[in-house]
């Protein structure tokens, strides 16, 4: 009679090896879980920082209401806050995505946040990166004082966005061919 491999509570065979392979995979799962927690902690910290930044900018604007430059300063602060919130959102999506892909599904998240594959996670992040770059350029353009530097900066950002767009198209076409 041949020995059967140990099974988990779900009835699926456990991956074990004489050299402790299951311990290694358990350890890597722990490392991923720590990555999930650290990404979530950074995300929450950035959300709190954005809230504090908004409070400070609005309070300053109200104290200097009617003075020249106050509205522009407030507009720049709002765009910078949007940039900060986009980075916080990207970190939160990374956290949810890593949790879903390596540890287990995350309950009570909107349908658009369900991550089914690594490519799915990359597509969501690429969209946020493009928007964050556009917001960053808008912030720089608002503070621009003149000169040609902004044109070079804008062209560099456009090249990065085009590369990301091209990669995103290739990524989506690969996903279509893999899933008929």
Per-residue pLDDT of the chain (180 residues; tens, 9 = 90+): 455 555 555 554 454 455 556 777 777 888 888 999 999 999 999 999 999 999 999 999 999 988 888 988 899 899 889 989 999 999 999 898 888 888 877 778 888 888 888 888 888 888 888 888 888 888 888 888 877 788 888 888 889 989 988 888 888 787 654 544
* Strand, helix or coil for residue 6: coil
pLDDT of residue 126: 85
| 81, 52 contact by CB (below 8 A) | no
The pLDDT value given to residue 19: 57
What pLDDT, on the 0 to 100 scale, is given for residue 139? 81
With b for 16 or more beta-carbon neighbours within 10 A and e for fewer, the 28-42 pattern comes to: eeeeeeeebeebbeb
In terms of C-beta distances under 8 Å and separation of at least 24 residues, what long-range contacts does 78-84 make, across chains too?
A: 78/54, 79/135, 79/138, 79/139, 79/142, 80/53, 80/139, 81/50, 81/53, 81/54, 81/57, 82/135, 83/132, 83/135, 83/136, 83/139, 84/46, 84/49, 84/50, 84/53
Question: What pLDDT is recorded for position 72?
Answer: 86
Contact 88, 147 (CB under 8 A): no
pLDDT of residue 43: 96
Tell me, what's the pLDDT at 21? 64
**Domain boundary assignment for the chain:** 28-178
What is residue 66's DSSP assignment?
Answer: T
pLDDT at 49: 96
What span, in angstroms and rounded, lies between the C-alpha atoms of 141 and 153? Answer: 10
pLDDT at 101: 86
Prediction pTM value:
0.69
**4, two tokens:** 């059967």
């Amino acid at each position: 009679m041949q020995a059967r491999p140990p099974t988990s509570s779900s009835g699926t065979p456990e991956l074990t090896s004489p050299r402790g392979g299951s311990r290694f995979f358990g350890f890597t799962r722990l490392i991923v879980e720590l990555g999930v927690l650290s990404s979530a902690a950074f995300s929450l910290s950035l959300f709190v920082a954005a809230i504090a930044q908004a409070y400070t900018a609005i309070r300053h604007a109200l104290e200097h209401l009617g003075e020249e430059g106050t509205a522009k300063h407030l507009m720049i602060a709002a765009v910078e806050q949007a940039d900060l919130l986009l980075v916080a959102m990207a970190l939160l999506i990374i956290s949810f995505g890593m949790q879903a892909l390596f540890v287990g599904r995350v309950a009570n998240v909107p349908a658009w946040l369900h991550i089914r594959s690594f490519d799915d996670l990359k597509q969501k992040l690429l969209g946020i990166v493009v928007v964050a770059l556009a917001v960053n350029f808008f912030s720089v353009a608002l503070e621009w004082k003149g000169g040609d530097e902004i044109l070079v900066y804008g062209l560099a950002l456009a090249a990065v966005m085009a590369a990301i767009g091209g990669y995103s198209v290739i990524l989506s076409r690969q996903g279509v061919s893999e899933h008929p």
